[in-house]
Amino acid sequence: MELWFSEYQTKNVKLSFRIKEVLYTKQSSYQKIAVYETEDFGRILTLDDTIMLTTKDEYIYHEMISHVPMLTHGDASRVLVIGGGDGGTVRELLKHPVKEIHLVEIDKEVIETSKKYFPTISCGLSDPRVKIYFEDGIEFVKKNTGYDVVIVDSTDPIGPAVGLFSAEFYKNVFEALNEDGILVAQTESPILFDNLVKKIYKDMSSVFPYTNMYSAVIPTYPGALWTFTMGSKTINPLLKEVSSLPHIDTKFYRRELQKSYFILPPFVSNLISDRGV
């Protein structure tokens, strides 16, 4: 019998993978966690039947959400990751000379699942520089400060993640950041969720002096073209020179393109420039 996993990206669009085996499913206190072995995309981690990562293309998302803000900052030593319990973002951050990484993941079971089924992704979680908090990131940023970079590696704005996509949350992150601090959040698909992308950009730019969006193609996410939005207090990412910073090993991110990543396809820049599409 053929076995398939499908994510309903919208009510009318689904992306399906033929699977070899269902490796794990569990209902945690927050969500349904599942791991599938697919024919062509390696292993998939899903939360509430939504794809978080596949071992085939996860490096694109994790490199782009980490290295673009880290190189823009250039000297980050204390970094906060909100969500990201699979560990992929932490693995990339550890390629930089950071002193401390705080990971705030609401669901302990996500971390346990990743440690067991995704060793190449969760490998950094036991590094002595990493401290893990099982808490709600929305509350965490109200009480903790002193970060150079904050990365929001969240699920879509549904359920517990809704509050991570609000102007109030961005304000609290602004306060939690040091003087030259930078926020980056994963900010969804400009093709399938244009109004959401527009709202996120508007909210973040109401808080940060520099707000810049960049994109990457992530074949297994809705619409494939995905955005990340950076809020920066003092550093203009379009002017930052990164050529003298230490080399990092990557598969998708290219340092030569650092500044060009912020040059968006015209339909995306029009979308966020108030001119609509």
Residues forming the site for ligand AG3 (CB under 6 A):
7, 50-53, 84, 86, 88-89, 153, 155-156, 186, 221-222
User: 235, 210 in Cβ contact below 8 A?
Assistant: yes
Q: Which is nearer to ligand AG3, 95 or 233 (CB)?
A: 95
Instruction: Please list the residues that pair with 16 across neighbouring strands.
Output: 6
Tracing tokens 């400009």 back to the chain, one arrives at: 190
Q: Rounded to the nearest whole angstrom, what is the least distance from the CB of residue 231 to ligand AG3 in the complex?
A: 18
156 catalytically annotated: no
Q: Rounded to the nearest whole angstrom, what is the least distance from the CB of residue 243 to ligand AG3 in the complex?
A: 28
Q: Rounded to the nearest whole angstrom, what is the least distance from the CB of residue 275 to ligand AG3 in the complex?
A: 27
CB atoms within 10 A of CB 223: 18
Tell me the C-alpha distance between 117 and 14, whole Å: 25
Q: Which is nearer to ligand AG3, 67 or 235 (CB)?
A: 67
**Residues with Cβ < 8 Å from 118, sequence gap 6 or more?**
35, 43, 45, 53, 55, 86, 87
Tell me the C-alpha distance between 151 and 89, whole Å: 9
Q: Which is nearer to ligand AG3, 86 or 194 (CB)?
A: 86
Helix ranges restricted to H, 163-247? 167-176, 194-205
Q: Which is nearer to ligand AG3, 111 or 182 (CB)?
A: 111
Q: Rounded to the nearest whole angstrom, what is the least distance from the CB of residue 217 to ligand AG3 in the complex?
A: 14
* Distance between start and end Cα atoms, the chain: 45
Tell me the C-alpha distance between 252 and 246, whole Å: 17
Q: Which is nearer to ligand AG3, 69 or 222 (CB)?
A: 222
Query: Residue 70, SS3?
Result: helix
Q: Rounded to the nearest whole angstrom, what is the least distance from the CB of residue 234 to ligand AG3 in the complex?
A: 28
Which of 153, 156, 194, 203 is catalytic? The answer is 153
Q: What residues are annotated to the active site?
A: 153
